[in-house]
Amino acid sequence: MAKLTQSKQKKLTFMDIIKGNFLNRDEVKAHYKYFLFIFGLLLIMIYTNHHVNTKIERINKLKEETEEYKSRNAYAQSRLIKIRMESELGKEMVQDSLVSLDSHPLKLLIKPDSTDEKSE
């Protein structure tokens, strides 16, 4: 009968892990395919996470632009309403034969005179 030989594995130390010597063990060599598969999955996960982050940044930038365009639109609409109102008033003034003033009117202040009260 054949004699069973058991190879004694030396203990795994912290320095072996740091140097990477644990990758040369026989039990690890049998599972390289799985390690490479997991490594590939990790790379894909990192890439998709980066891709999602760039999409989120782009979405935030587009949201800021839409807010800016909304505020510009509101300002333009308010100005348009004001211009329409002024043009409608101008048409009505022309129909009533009124002309807009070139200079502003003066306000006259009349103070009652104390001599006028005594004469009455």
Q: Is residue 1 pLDDT above 50, yes or no?
A: no
What is the average pLDDT across 6-19? 72
Six token digits for residue 19: 């140097």
Report for 7-21, 40-54, 88-102: range of highest mean pLDDT: 40-54
Check: CB of residue 25 under 8 Å from CB of residue 9: yes
The Cα 101–Cα 37 span in angstroms is 85
Q: Is residue 34 pLDDT above 80, yes or no?
A: yes
The Cα 11–Cα 7 span in angstroms is 13
pLDDT of residue 30: 80
What's the DSSP call for residue 108? P
What is the average pLDDT across 75-91? 84
